[in-house]
Amino acid sequence: MSNHAAAATAGLLVMRRVEATARWFSIDPGPADAGCQFAVSVRCYVKRSLVFRRRGQPPYVIYQPYIGASNGSIMKFGVRDLSVLQSDDACRWALRRMLARMPQLQVLRHTDVDWDDVVPSNMVPQIVRAACGDNAPHGFTFHFVMAVDRQFIHDEQALLMACKRELGGSDKLENCPICLDVLEGEPVVQPPRCPHAFHHRCIFRWFCKATTCPICRRDVRICALPEFLSL
Ligand SMILES: [Zn+2]
Ligand SMILES: [Zn+2]
C-alpha cells in the first residue's frame, strides 16, 4: 500500500511516499449507464504534505493547499467487459488506469511506482467479489471513497540539494557571509529564491542548525518546494 521511492542525487536524499486508503464502498444494482452495464464510481480526497526531518527533532510538516473537491474529485468509469473486474490482477490494472484519468491525481505527477500505490489494495478484492457474485450479470455500479496522501520527506541534506550551484553572471562573488572568507576558488551555492551566496561547506553546516538563509531569513524549506515537487 505504501512505497518509499528515494530520489538520491549525489548521496542526498528525498523520499516520496504515497498512501491510498479506501474509506467506504457500496454496490448499487442495475445498469450503471445507457452504454455500460457495469461501472466503478470513485470519490477521491487528496492530501499533499512536505515533511522536514532533522535528527533529534520532531518532524516539521507543511501541508500544501488542498485540491478542492469540485476539481474532478468524483468520476464514474464504465466497464463493458465484466472479466476486467473478475481477477485481482486485471481489476488492479483497470483501477490504476481509471484513477490515472482523475484530474486530482494527475496534478500529483506520480511516477509509475507511485501509481501502483494509488490503487487502494483493500478495494480490489471487494470489486472482484462483486464482479464474480450471483448478481453481477444484471449489472452494478461499485462506488468507493478513497483518500490519497502524498508526502515528500526530506532532511537538511536535501535543502542543500535545492540550492543553486551555478550563480548567474550578475552575481558578484564577494565574501561568504558565514565564514567571511572570499567565495572565489571554492564551491559556492545560492539558496532557492534568495540573492545570497555561501560556501557549499558553510551553508551545509548552517542547514544542520537552521533552515533559513542566514542573511534574508527566507525559509529554504518553503522556497525549495518547487524543486522537490519537480522530482
Ligand atoms: Zn564560508
Ligand atoms: Zn538570502
pLDDT in tens, 48-107: 887 877 777 787 787 766 555 555 588 999 998 999 999 999 999 999 999 999 988 887
- Contact in structure between 22 and 148 (CB atoms under 8 Å): no
- Contact in structure between 161 and 220 (CB atoms under 8 Å): no
Given a cut of 50, whether residue 3 has pLDDT beyond it is no
pTM for this predicted structure:
0.69
Q: How far is CA 146 from CA 33, 46, 73, 77, 119, in A?
A: 22, 9, 10, 15, 9
Cα 187 to ligand 1 centre (Å): 10
Given a cut of 60, whether residue 9 has pLDDT beyond it is no
Question: 173 versus 44: which is more confidently predicted?
Answer: 44
Q: What one-character-per-residue DSSP string does 58-96 give? A: --EEEEPPP--TTTT-EEEEEES-GGGGSSHHHHHHHHH
Nearest ligand, CA 198: 1
Near ion ligand 2, which residues have CB within 5 Å?
A: 194, 196, 213, 215-216
Given a cut of 80, whether residue 213 has pLDDT beyond it is yes
Nearest ligand, CA 164: 2
At residue 11, the pLDDT reads 38
Nearest ligand, CA 201: 1
How is domain 158-229 classified at the CATH fold level? Herpes Virus-1 (3.30.40)
Question: 154 versus 131: which is more confidently predicted?
Answer: 131
Domain ranges of the chain: 2-154, 158-229
List the grid coordinates of 91.
481489476
Nearest ligand, CA 203: 1
pLDDT in tens, 111-141: 888 888 899 989 999 999 999 998 888 899 9
Cα 142 to ligand 2 centre (Å): 53
Cα 186 to ligand 1 centre (Å): 9
Given a cut of 80, whether residue 7 has pLDDT beyond it is no
Given a cut of 60, whether residue 159 has pLDDT beyond it is yes
Partners of 8 in beta bridges: 13
